[in-house]
Structure 1
Amino acid sequence: MYKWVSIIASVLFFMGVSTVSAENGDDTKPSVLLVHSLENQGQMKEVRMLDALLGQFTDDITLTTDDKLQEKEVNSYSHLFYYGGVPKQLSKSTISVLNNYQGKIYAAGHNVDQFSQRFSFLEWEGETLINSDVTLAGAESMTLPEERIVYDIRKGDKATVAAKSEDVPLVVHSGGDYYFSGETFSPPFGQVITESLAAFFEKDNKSLVKYLRLEDVDPLSDPNQLQSQAEYLAEMNVPYMVSLIPVHTNEEGETVHLSDSPELIDTLQYMQDNGASIVLHGYKHQYRRSETGEGFEFWDVENDRPIYQPSSEDAKTKSDFKTDQAYQSYMKEAATFEKQYIEEVVTKGIQELTDHNLYPLAFEAPHYAMSQQGYDVVSDHFSSYVGQLQLTNNTWKGQYAPPYESQPSFLHGMTVYPETLGYIEKGEQASFDRMDEEIGQRSTLTKSYLSAFYHPYLGLEGLKKVVQNLEAVDDSTWLDLKEQNNTVSAGDLNITSDNGQIKVDNTKVASEHERSIFRKEILKYAAFPLGILIIVILYVARKALNRKKEN
């Protein structure tokens, strides 16, 4: 029988902080006011991209709209970013505030010509299409995946072009103020913005960070295959992550828990002790009845919306309600259901892993799909998130990864460690080639993560190729998640890590699943002695009764 309750040796928990992303000498944290002009909430996708790009340099980000700008004490912020998502006439007070702001301004998109007093070093000549590679000073050119609309601008003599596409300037700066002529921040424009933000915030030290994640490990994973890969990574002195799913389930609803795979638990504990950091990758990795690893868990993919009802119930839409009031009442209940559902699933996952001395330090949503409320709920349990980000509740498609680790405001205090290189597909040399090309481009940037995930069932040889390609990057550092300052909580269970050490406050059996098994085991082993005791009691009682009758 697996040992249900283990005694964990006390470890010294050092208070010093060591991170792979320490900035150059200046520890001053910028405070940023992000002002945006949008037509509707559907355009918040671009704002959240920008939020994630700014979050690479600070976690002090305040969002506001241009019509509320006069209400803000703008000069209390060290930096201001204006994003014109749509053409509109700005108010005189807004224009005055932007022209007279005392700090640095970075502007992007439309309407910047209206506060031309501030950007007198530019002239706008309408919009134009670009379809050529984007070039940055000191970096490899980056390919545009499609044509992009940008403003055709001309710079003054004292201005400098920091990025361009052929002869079309994309980023121009003068006197500490910057302008980006594009309307979207989708790749490769995110990399372009990050390079210029490094100079804008005067935090332009070179930092290339690598990480590797072994993906979709669950109770049916082959422990021998994992063991061989773990030994190889330990030999190479490569820290890595294991995205772990505590429960495997299938279309028939049959489940296998980690407690059903004691050999796998031993292997995972070996991995954790020899370079691996555990990432909670959902609880079952499915919402409806689908195979673990294939299904979504925090997104109703059939209806492309958040989890608003139990999987056994039909999804309701606005057309199912006679009045808007009834629909809004339903949506309020649906949001409450989603919050409770995510809370329960995440808590179960943390507790069940911890029952086996496996301590998750970060969270990763299956298929990177999660609503904005979902991030809020997860942030109550994890300080670290791994992977890519879903930017709206409109669709799970089109996720985004900033080039570098980030703390955007919509993650509510979590740090995202982005996955930027994709994964290897079975039997496809082309996927290795794509990864190599992406490594080549990103490694020339000032700040970039070179991060990939690999499915262990593909075997050791493919893993070796990925590691060798990442090891070849000069002046780069492997991310060890244990070295970061992570906090995880579920009920009265608290996990922290820092400087390579993990500390757990509560080591008792926590999950309901494990408690139920524990109770069954106790009953099983106690049944025989309990039966003997009852027989003895009955025998003694009968003897006493017979003596009483004889007297």
Structure 2
Amino acid sequence: MRKKIIAVLILLMVILLGLGGRTVNALEEEIVKINLDTNVLVVYSTEHWEVDENIRMLDLSVGHFSNNIEYINVHHLEQEDLEDKTHLFYYGHIKEKLSPSVAELVSSFEGPTMAISYNTEQLGDKYSFLQVGEETTITTIDYLGDQEKSIEINPSIVFETVLDEGTEVLVEGDGDEGKVPLIMRKDKNYYLSADSFDRPYSIYFSQVLNTFFDVESNDNTPAYIRLEDVHPLSDPKRLMAAAEELAKRDTPYMIAVIPVYTDPDSGRRYHFEDQREVLKVLKYMQNNGGSVVLHGYTHQFRDSETGEGFEFWDVENQMPIYHGPEDEVTQLVEDDFESPEKYEAHQTKNKEYERKYIEERLTKGVQELANYGLYPLAFEAPHYTMSQNGYQVVSDYFSTYVGQVQLSDEDWEIMDTTPYATQPTMLNGMLLLPETIGYVQPEAEEPVKDMMESAEYYQLLKGGMIGAFYHPYLGVEGLREVLDEMEKIKNIEWIDLKEMKNTVVVDHVNIQSGNGEINAQVNNLGLMRTSKNYVYYHMIEIVIIITWVIAVLGITAVLMFLSFTFYLVVRRRRLEKNVAKPLK
């Protein structure tokens, strides 16, 4: 008998689930300026002849304009590398002697060329219009042609340059030694006399790239607000207060969701099915302007508290996840192996472990949320920490990434952001929606003011993105203050992930978005086969529905019984009254 009841419940559950799902026919709103006919070659000089964090920072900037970028060390440059390229960069991060053939190849290239930092004097006739001198310090940057874009900066080192007549200075620095050209060009040949893409250089550099790629800037200021670290033990009242405030303002937003909360003391795991009030609020959010972003699965690696841990980076050993949380870690370098081949095999094994680990957590995260009817449209790594291999793995499942990016596989703190939305090579095709102005830090004296000062930097750039996040546990008052200030930004245009074309695919779940809608194709039977918890959740949901139906029917029956009883009593009294009347 029990088995028959369970079978009936499962059948009813499948029928009810089959009624869900929405369709979409969406076009992505363009927030990047990618031209499919633009092919970029970046030639570089680095210490170990490899792409490093400095080249990846350049990758973030260029990825706003092209998703077809190739990288090659200057010592490997050949004529065939230039044949199909439309734009050329040379980044001399270190001083070194270049082959005479490099000057010939650069001089023969007919498209726009951008040289950066050292070794420019070795690039041939194209760069004979300038002479690079000694280092100097600047404390102000001026964007010539728009004096409102002049800012004071911390003392920074650039190179003095002597320019031929007819050279146009686009951005200028000013310091104790006077004015210094910072970004300049002659014809289609550009030069940046700094060795950094950190803010504020990245802002002015990105502005000039619009000219370099012949792209017209957008006057709108794309922006987003993200509610951070929402997990099963979040306060549902504070979440709802934030959701209602955003809905009242008609402001779309993101919710960075962690499916599982792990208690660091007891080790107990809490899921949203254990906290249905929080789940109810999340569904309200998704239906009223919010878009879910998967923020890891547990947001922790070892026994740290959910929301505090580094799920995809071993912060204790400063390395990617190549091992289990309890494993003894021995870090090996190439010199520890008999041959480069054995070291490469060791690294391949490590990356395979990391891939399996990330794939499992991404799959569980998406499946669990989809089972609840929550459909993530993007991914954000906890604390923005993840190896380069990790980004490649994520790109197999998500088309959109939110936040900042880690630029080094040796140090998680080497991370940065970029002024524009971008599709850099390092993210293997994923669209990055950068976080640029931080969050409300409770320990700061004027946290919102700090955020708005950062926002002023990105408003120097046409179309510069203003990306912020807020922790709902701080209360709705702080959120109101952030939104009030962000709404003052000129031409602000809130990003709605549902309006963009996003794709999320794991086993049994395929999520697409666009035109304000979500199309989620969920193989519910497949999900149920992967975890019994998914079955129990829907069985409980059905039991709750049946209980309510029974309760309503019961209450209805009682009311009908009472009504009928009352009718009989009234009727009886009327009859008794009629009988009691004397005959005339």
* Normalised TM-score (structure 1): 0.89
Counterpart among 491, 502, 517 of residue 486 in structure 1: 502
Q: Deviations over 1:442-484 (max 9, x none)?
A: 2131231111000000111110111111111112211111111
Counterpart among 241, 246, 255 of residue 228 in structure 1: 241
Q: Distance in 2 between matches of 1:97 and 1:42?
A: 21
Counterpart among 130, 143, 149 of residue 137 in structure 2: 130
Distance 1:521 1:113, change over 3 A: closer
Counterpart among 398, 404, 422 of residue 420 in structure 2: 404
Distance 1:10 1:341, change over 3 A: closer
Counterpart among 521, 532, 535 of residue 518 in structure 1: 535
**2:209 is matched with which residue?**
197
**1:237 is matched with which residue?**
250
Distance 1:397 1:291, change over 3 A: same
Q: Distance in 2 between matches of 1:344 and 1:452?
A: 29
**1:278 is matched with which residue?**
292
What are the equivalent positions in structure 2 for 1:127-526 lying under 5 Å apart? 127-137=134-144, 138=146, 139-145=148-154, 147-166=155-174, 167-206=179-218, 207-252=220-265, 253-318=267-332, 323-324=337-338, 329-426=345-442, 428-508=444-524, 510=527, 514-516=531-533, 518=535
Unaligned 5+ runs, structure 1: 527-551
Q: Distance in 1 between matches of 2:159 and 2:32?
A: 36
Distance 1:507 1:501, change over 3 A: farther
Following superposition, the deviation at residue 219 of structure 1 comes to 0.3
**1:121 is matched with which residue?**
129
Q: Distance in 2 between matches of 1:520 and 1:50?
A: 47
Q: Distance in 2 between matches of 1:104 and 1:312?
A: 53
Following superposition, the deviation at residue 332 of structure 1 comes to 3.2
For 1:382, what is the secondary structure of its paired residue?
A: coil
Q: Deviations over 1:11-66 (max 9, x none)?
A: 34224x2415265xx96642111111112167611000001100011111111111
Q: Distance in 2 between matches of 1:322 and 1:46?
A: 27
Counterpart among 70, 83, 86 of residue 91 in structure 2: 83
Distance 1:339 1:224, change over 3 A: same
For 2:98, what is the secondary structure of its paired residue?
A: coil
Unaligned 5+ runs, structure 2: 1-8, 544-584
Q: Distance in 2 between matches of 1:271 and 1:376?
A: 30
Following superposition, the deviation at residue 231 of structure 1 comes to 1.0
Q: Distance in 2 between matches of 1:319 and 1:105?
A: 38
Q: Distance in 2 between matches of 1:149 and 1:209?
A: 31
Q: Deviations over 1:405-445 (max 9, x none)?
A: 00110101101000000010126342111111112222131
Q: Distance in 2 between matches of 1:373 and 1:176?
A: 36
Distance 1:222 1:41, change over 3 A: farther
Q: Distance in 1 between matches of 2:253 and 2:491?
A: 18
Q: Distance in 2 between matches of 1:12 and 1:177?
A: 49
For 2:358, what is the secondary structure of its paired residue?
A: helix
Q: Distance in 1 between matches of 2:49 and 2:255?
A: 36
Q: Deviations over 1:60-107 (max 9, x none)?
A: 111111122215341411111111111112112211010110111011
Distance 1:437 1:320, change over 3 A: closer
Q: Does 434-443 or 513-522 show the bigger shift?
A: 513-522
Q: Does 323-332 or 280-289 show the bigger shift?
A: 323-332
Q: Distance in 2 between matches of 1:90 and 1:57?
A: 28
RMSD of aligned alpha carbons: 2.6
Distance 1:41 1:101, change over 3 A: closer
For 1:154, what is the secondary structure of its paired residue?
A: strand
Q: Is the 8 A contact 2:509 2:520 kept in 1?
A: yes
Counterpart among 73, 80, 94 of residue 72 in structure 1: 80
Distance 1:319 1:114, change over 3 A: closer
Q: Is the 8 A contact 1:439 1:450 kept in 2?
A: yes
Q: Distance in 2 between matches of 1:512 and 1:454?
A: 37
Counterpart among 64, 70, 74 of residue 56 in structure 1: 64
Q: Is the 8 A contact 1:195 1:447 kept in 2?
A: no
Residue 11, structure 1, aligned to residue 19, structure 2: no
Q: Is the 8 A contact 1:241 1:278 kept in 2?
A: yes
Give 2:22's aligned amino acid: V
Q: Deviations over 1:210-237 (max 9, x none)?
A: 1000000000001111111111101101
For 2:394, what is the secondary structure of its paired residue?
A: helix
Q: Distance in 1 between matches of 2:109 and 2:259?
A: 52
